[in-house]
Amino acid sequence: MVILIVFLLGIGNFAAQKAVLESGHPMLDALPSFYRTGGGRFSLWFEFFILLAAMLLAGNGWTGMAWAYGVYSLINFAIAWIILSGKI
């Protein structure tokens, strides 16, 4: 059950990340070029490795990792909402 929750949060993180990358927000111009190349593939791969690590650790009994990934996801969602709603 814990792995499923982490996986669903990961799907949300990917969606939020992709939406921010496609928003064309001026703040994205401040990112290093390797982070932006290929439509943000580097950042999506980084997100994948964070999700993979969280799922592997949560699956091996580290339930605290699921909580940590949940907090990480909430922060991610909040920042994506702030950027996409034009508050920044």
The model's pTM is: 0.83
pLDDT digits (tens, 9 = 90+) for 11-53: 999 999 888 888 877 777 777 777 767 767 888 888 899 999 9
| CB of 28 closer than 8 Å to CB of 21 | yes
3-state SS track over the chain: CHHHHHHHHHHHHHHHHHHHHHCCCHHHHHCCHHHHHHHHHHHHHHHHHHHHHHHHHHHCCCHHHHHHHHHHHHHHHHHHHHHHCCCC
Domain count, the chain: 1
Structural domain for 77, as ranges: 2-84
Q: What is the mean pLDDT of residues 65-85?
A: 93
pLDDT digits (tens, 9 = 90+) for 45-61: 888 999 999 999 998 98
Question: Cα(81)–Cα(87) distance, rounded to whole angstroms?
Answer: 9
